[in-house]
Amino acid sequence: MKISRIFSMTLLAGFAACGPAQAADAAHGQKIFAECAACHSAAKAPSGVGPSLYGVFGRKAGTLDDFRFSPAMKRANIVWSRETLESYIADPQKAIPANRMPFGGIPDAQNRADLLDYMEQTFK
């Protein structure tokens, strides 16, 4: 629990250091994703600590074959779209309580928009 909190605070500090963006900015989103890449791959390759995000748009939560999801994620009746990912990235525990991702979320709406622009360009 304590490690998860420290990990989340470290990630949030990294996001804050990125600073605000003017308009939706996929290049800025790529920089934000560098923090996510500690656990998530953008490649079709097998999952690591977190599931691969390749092809995430349109996929039902908790269904990637090569990853062991939490029971909460498996029960979630969510199909990943820009809207559902935005809500999840903002506050993962609020969006899907009891999920295992040790991440506190991205509170800044502009940073989430930039990240999602990058994800839409990269993971489809």
Q: Collect all residues with Cβ–Cβ distance below 8 Å to 6 and sequence separation of at least 6.
A: none
Question: pTM of the prediction?
Answer: 0.78
Q: Residue 61 is part of a domain; what is its CATH number?
A: 1.10.760.10
Please write the tens of the pLDDT for every residue from 52-97.
999 999 999 999 998 999 999 999 999 999 999 999 999 999 999 9
Classified as helix, coil or strand, 99 is: coil
What range does the domain containing 52 cover?
Answer: 2-122
Alpha helices in 19-108 (DSSP H): 26-36, 71-75, 82-90, 92-95
C-alpha span between 25 and 29 (Å, rounded) = 6
- Total domains in the chain come to 1
More confident residue, 22 or 95: 95
pLDDT at position 49 over 50:
yes
CB atoms near residue 10 (< 10 Å): 12
